[in-house]
Structure 1
């Protein structure tokens, strides 16, 4: 039976529940208010066979109450039925009496907070499994107690029975402790029975339990067929890495797969071998950031994307096609940087090199190691022999195999072939000695043909850090690289003009070339023009500045300010969050918190100019009202078939809207903006859009439709922890 209801906790700090009823035509949303502290758990069940009738919802919160909500009829309201106290170190059984719940029995035993409980039905008996922070799992058996058995004297040894009677029916039940499972070495956060299935027309409940713990393991328990004693059958989990264990786990419906999620927001999937039932191997699973994603960039060839976020990681996603399948899916294939600071921005420097900025004063430059390039080719099927050969030739030193993070360090240290232990046994012995609890080298090269699991992503896919760039006084906020990969521009957080200066760096000498001072507050985004002649900066001070490249000097190119806005010429009245260039370098776009999107240009920038000329650059479009704060803008490098620019606009409410624009005549045309697509709620971000980035080429990554393709791809990232890739049909715009 398909469920038509979704009950969710939409904010971990909220005291409310969000309830949605989905039909073919309508989605109704209702918020259930009643708890006084944050809601931490919720579940729902139908009370009848009618999907629209008698829905029962239970919610537990930090206010030490469990509240029961009931919905009667397809048009009925939701109302509170009961509120009962919830004990954190005892199992409590409640007996439902019509619409009220009465406390019936307390099952003591756990010595710390209970983190999970779940029922199972086997024949005529009920089983309750519970897990707690005392590292133990307890299994309780609930069975009907007949009067004859209670009156008959039996001198055999038996466990103590906890007895209760249901007042409505007069039926007496006995609860006994079936077993205590001790195997985890840290808090047990979740326990689940294998789902029941139908066989021969009857529902059967397999007696298997899955548990997840903060000791980084998931254990499958099953009673021995002869003795009935519960034993550990399978133990899977992580080895190494800087994780803190598992929060939850689940069986697949047929029990052949196990999925768990960890502290760092990652899923882990294991699949049972069809030959050896006790052999479970990691399988490919989705992954992503677990905090706000601040920036995303395509590589110059458009074959993968790299993103950074406040979860302190840099992640690389690429398309992958399973064997004998045609569908292309995106997966994380490397985690080049696992940092100690929140990540803010990045820029690609060629195909396999990037620079990133975080909440520190240092820019860090990373280059792909040999093992990643080889595995990237194996996974995606993209030949990279030329790229690998070029990297080896362009750097006189040997290309490292991979990278590792030294103990208590922030910099990824290169690992070369001679640094690695010859045999795995030698590596394991070195790792386990007391003097080497924090080894300098624990990278192991992998031969991959599919996306790696989480433990390998954390440990074996780092990129070596090749350079640090010092010069900023506060946390890095934005960075950009020109299209010829020779210059880097960066800016940091600032409340004064002296700190808001833009710094230019050389990518050959990694030296500081120039400091560009103009803005009074933080520069929020930087963008080089496609012809590399201009650098555009937008700022919190509500102004933009345009810098022109001058003749090269001995120390490198010099940029001078050729145009800007000030308090007299500014059009934007709030923070300018984002900017971008048209592919012909004739125009640029700005987007602001004031809900305005403006195209600028209408001048001959090839003529020399000194200082600021008020009429040098003007708005050449009507002011686009986006109806909400604009947080990201991006212009496609590929035009529509009729020659219009394609502009993507991201809003603070999570919406992404696609427009086309084309100037007609000297004055702004009344219909120069055309709204083409507005993403619906299912496709949009749930929170603010942080960055938009078009793929520079036609076609879709991972498909063989690169030339004369109707498709474009747009990458976006947001504060909702998501990275999204949209396929856009440019002929339909």
Structure 2
């Protein structure tokens, strides 16, 4: 069987901001809505599948439970696109089991409970094929946010914005009349209704079993522990889990003997400028509980073995809760930084565990939590980066020592190697953000003890050594990177950034509607001074890329043109002269090949060619086609022109990237991201007379489950061959095996809030 060309390595995504969007199946898979998709997540591994079918936000997800308590094979999702989709498992490993109906003298009345914004619970019963309203339960004093039936005992749990949980009991009424003594007995008031089906009538009564008061804010979710099969019968453990906006989950159960409902366990999040939980779920065996928060983060707690009543935080995946705008690999290809419209910068890396052969990707740091939507970033060295947001200021961040130590523990990279590749002189321990500020302030070892005295000014920083990915509350407060510099110079919001391979120059561009604001600014990464402005375009520069040798800077623009800037030869200038660029060549509106905005660009690894992609669906490779050498000759007139045939990819090409590992036979591997969310793989080979796109070969594409559900915003290849986290321990850290060298990795950022990492098999191309 041929090896697949594209494999999904990791999907970083979070839950949508809505209740009832997460469901834990008895097979162990957690299904939750993320943007317009449904993610299937295995807590022990990673996201195993993404279901794309909705065109609007997914608002509710629910597994269809089976009567035999077996593994579910059907899933229902509902979205803001007014669609309900039923998904069916078709994996050969899932065995469908037919359940025969048993003849029973009992009459079955399906009852539906609905919580309304009128503070009432409305009960509907199916009689003769039609649902009709039979009763309204009053008691809550605000909107009903969740209702759920228990199996076995007919108990209904409801929660509302009045901070209370109510447990109702449904019982069948006896047809016999009460005697005088029963009439005098004090009992709870009952709401009675009668159902008739096939000329048979039955009376039912609903009573209030208990009112649970323990939360201090709106309660958004309640969930009963799933039933299990014991001795051939279904057994329901009456444990009720609740989640609230007060950042806590409570596990309720009846006290033995008295039957009073009491709080058994309370877990939650402490600190951080966040809101609480939107919903909760319990694992099939009751050993794990999970909540999803207002900002989409998952919070997992696991019951400690041998310690009853003790729960500890677990490791889960995380992701952006809004569009991901940009991402970048570190120079060694060991971690990924991403920025998004959720105003955060996140760092993902593989986690190596001794008990597992394959590493899993996790977020281990959140270097920046901003007050503006993030737009772009560029790595400057191993542990330093520049970011831009919807503001005029660029910000420079450097990793604290605590992050370097934790990264070594989690990734398995020797600490000495990491310290040798970073500037550890006067390196702070961590960072903290003032309560009314946007800048991350450095925290040094000597000042940690004083933070208790100024806690009203800054969020307290807890510097600790981690051997596993941190939980959400730790990411929010203790993994910030200190801001070391601000760069001023642009007149409007930042749009794109780029840095050269030598990490000496950073290029930046902002939104522009006039030529005076469309100039590219160059910055020195040593002094952080502005080196020069490069005016050429009349509208926003949408993306920039330095050639791998650092001699050229390519810029593409909304004005449908590109410009190529050449760096002055260092051999002809004094050593103390800072880098200087001059215009080498450019296209004009009357000579431009692209007819719509150019979204993306990139360079080939050998510096010979660059590629552009546009909204006009065209992808073009450019270069000096008359020469087999890289574009380095300054004396000859520029002859940069299309070297490839113009290929139509069928949709707006919003992202493009050259693979840094060359293919055999002087061919190049490219990835193209589309507005539809699909990623295409092409192999391009220089041809003397390309016609009909004969120089292009389409080798692969992401299928519906691998693609983004919205626009691909950025594509970045890992700068070296192999898969991150797969380095051979015996051969030395950073080395790769022969089998792993056939793989390359591609990271993609999407407007669907996700970061995806793909493994590409070069031998299959």
Residue 118 (structure 2) pairs with residue 100 (structure 1): no
- Contact 1:513 1:555 survives alignment (8 Å): no
Q: 2:738 matched to 1:720?
A: no
Q: Which residue of structure 1 lines up, in the alignment, with residue 272 of structure 2?
A: 241
- Alignment of 1:304 onto 2:326: no
Matched, 1:698 2:698: no
Deviations 1:226-271 (A, max 9, x none): 2111111111111111210000110000000001111111111100
C-alpha displacement of 1:643 = 3.0
- Residue 456 of structure 1 aligns to a residue whose secondary structure is helix
Aligned 8 A contact 2:220 2:279 in 1: yes
Mark the CA change 1:464 to 1:7 in structure 2 (over 3 Å): closer, same or farther.
closer
Alpha-carbon spacing, 1:56–1:163, altered in 2? closer, same or farther (3 Å): farther
Within 5 A, what are the aligned runs for 1:346-357? 346-357=377-388
Retained in 2: the 8 A contact 1:291–1:719? Answer: yes
Secondary structure, counterpart of 2:584 in structure 1: strand
**Among 135, 145, 170, the residue aligned to 1:115:** 145
Alignment partner, residue 381 of structure 1: 412
The corresponding residue for 2:588 is 566
Contact 1:621 1:669 in 2 (8 A): no
User: Which position in structure 2 is the counterpart of 1:503?
Assistant: 521
Which among 468, 472, 480 is matched to residue 454 of structure 1? 472
Q: Which residue of 1 aligns with 2:98?
A: none
Query: 2:617 & 2:273 partners in 1: Cα distance?
Result: 42
Aligned to 1:595: 617
Runs of 5+ unmatched residues, structure 1: 18-26, 70-81
- Equivalent residue for 1:532? 550
Change (3 A) 1:485 1:58: closer
Partner of residue 400, structure 1: 428
Following TM superposition, by how much is the alpha carbon of 1:196 offset from its aligned partner in structure 2, in angstroms? 0.6
Q: Give the RMSD, CA atoms, in angstroms.
A: 3.3
TM-superposition CA deviations, 1:300-335 (whole Å, max 9, x none): 001111111111110000011333110221111111
CA change 1:130–1:546 in 2 (3 A) is same
Give distance in 2, aligned partners of 1:44 and 1:333. Answer: 31
- The answer to whether residue 687 in structure 2 is matched with residue 659 in structure 1 is no
Q: Deviations over 1:249-296 (max 9, x none)?
A: 100000000011111111111000111121000011011111111111
Query: CA 1:162 to 1:337, structure 2 compared with 1: closer, same or farther past 3 Å?
Result: same
Q: Deviations over 1:608-627 (max 9, x none)?
A: 359xx6x6210000011101
Stretch deviating more after TM superposition (635-644 or 674-683): 635-644
CA distance in 2, matches of 1:319, 1:657: 25
CA shift in 2, pair 1:625/1:167, >3 Å: same
Give yes or no for contact 2:194–2:202 (8 Å, CA) kept in 1: yes
Residues in 1 aligned to 2:84 and 2:116: alpha-carbon distance in whole angstroms: 10
Question: Secondary structure of the equivalent of 1:109?
Answer: coil
Once the two structures are superposed, residues 543-575 of structure 1 have per-residue CA deviations (whole angstroms, 9 ceiling, x without a partner) of 000000114575512111111111221000001
Distance 1:359 1:692 in 2: 21
Deviation at 1:58, TM superposition (A): 11
TM-fit CA distance, 1:57: 8.3
Q: How many residues align?
A: 681
The answer for the alignment partner of 1:74 in structure 2 is none
Q: Give the counterpart of 1:129 among 140, 146, 157.
A: 157
SS at match of 2:613: strand
Confirm or deny that 1:608 pairs with 2:639: no
Label 1:686 to 1:235 Cα distance change in 2 as closer, same or farther (>3 A): same
Cα 1:205–1:702 change in 2 (3 A) is: same
Match of 1:76 in 2: none
Say which of 618, 629, 645 aligns to 1:622: 645
Number of the residue aligned with 1:281? 312
Whether contact under 8 Å (2:327, 2:336) holds in the other structure is: yes
What is the CA-CA distance between 1:61 and the residue it aligns to?
A: 9.2
Instruction: Work out whether residues 366 and 476 of structure 2, in 8 Å CA contact, stay in contact via their aligned partners in 1.
Output: yes
Distance in 1 separating the partners of 2:745 and 2:606: 19
Equivalent-residue separation in structure 2 for 1:730 and 1:67 (angstroms): 40
Q: What's the CA shift for 1:642? A: 2.9
The alpha-carbon distance between structure 1 residues 454 and 8, as it changes in their structure 2 partners (threshold 3 A), is closer
Answer whether contact 2:345 2:366 (CA < 8 A) is retained. yes
Which of structures 1 and 2 has the larger relative contact order (alpha carbons within 8 angstroms, sep 6+)?
A: 2
The TM-score with structure 1 as length reference comes to 0.87
Matched, 1:576 2:605: no
CA 1:95–1:38 in 2, change beyond 3 Å: closer, same or farther?
Answer: farther
Following TM superposition, by how much is the alpha carbon of 1:665 offset from its aligned partner in structure 2, in angstroms? 3.4
Q: How does 1:177-196 map to 2 (within 5 A)?
A: 177-196=208-227
User: Which residue in 2 is equivalent to 1:78?
Assistant: none
In the TM superposition, 1:305-454 aligns within 5 A as: 305-392=336-423, 395=425, 398-421=426-449, 430=452, 438-454=456-472
2:520 aligned with 1:520 = no
**SS of the counterpart of 1:134?**
coil
* Alignment deviations for residues 64-120 of structure 1 (CA, whole Å, 9 cap, x no partner): xx9999xxxxxxxxxxxx999955410111111133111111110000001000001
**Distance (whole Å) between structure 2 residues aligned to residue 30 and residue 632 of structure 1:** 23
Check whether the contact 1:115–1:131 (CA below 8 A) recurs between aligned residues: yes
Cα distance between partner residues in 2 of 1:285 and 1:56? 22
Contact residue 595 and residue 626 of structure 1 kept, 8 A: yes
Is the contact between residue 47 and residue 56 of structure 1 (CA under 8 Å) also seen in structure 2?
A: no
CA contact (8 A) 2:161 2:220 kept: yes
| Partners of 2:178 and 2:501 in 1: CA distance | 85
Q: Name the counterpart of 1:476.
A: 494
Pairwise CA distance, 1:9: 8.2
By how many angstroms is 1:11 displaced?
Answer: 7.3
1:549 and 1:368 map into 2 onto residues whose CA distance is 30
- Relative to the length of structure 2, the TM-score reads 0.83
How do 1:58-77 and structure 2 match up within 5 A?
none
Query: In structure 1, the residue corresponding to 2:404 is in which secondary structure?
Result: helix
Select which of 173, 177, 182 maps to 2:204: 173
Residues 633, 452 of structure 1: CA spacing in aligned structure 2 closer, same or farther, 3 A cutoff?
Answer: same
Q: Is the CA contact 2:324–2:753 (under 8 Å) kept in the aligned structure 1?
A: yes
Describe the superposition over 1:517-544 as per-residue Cα deviations: whole angstroms up to 9, x where unpaired.
0000000001000111100000000000
CA 1:697–1:437 in 2, change beyond 3 Å: closer, same or farther?
closer
Aligned to 1:162: 191
Please say if residues 542 and 573 of structure 1, whose CA atoms lie closer than 8 Å, have aligned partners that are also in contact: yes
**Preserved CA contact (<8 Å) 1:663 1:669:** no
Please state whether the residue corresponding to 1:373 is helix, strand or coil: helix
Asked if the contact 2:35/2:753 (under 8 Å) is kept, the reply is no
Q: Give, in angstroms, the shift of residue 668 of structure 1.
A: 6.9
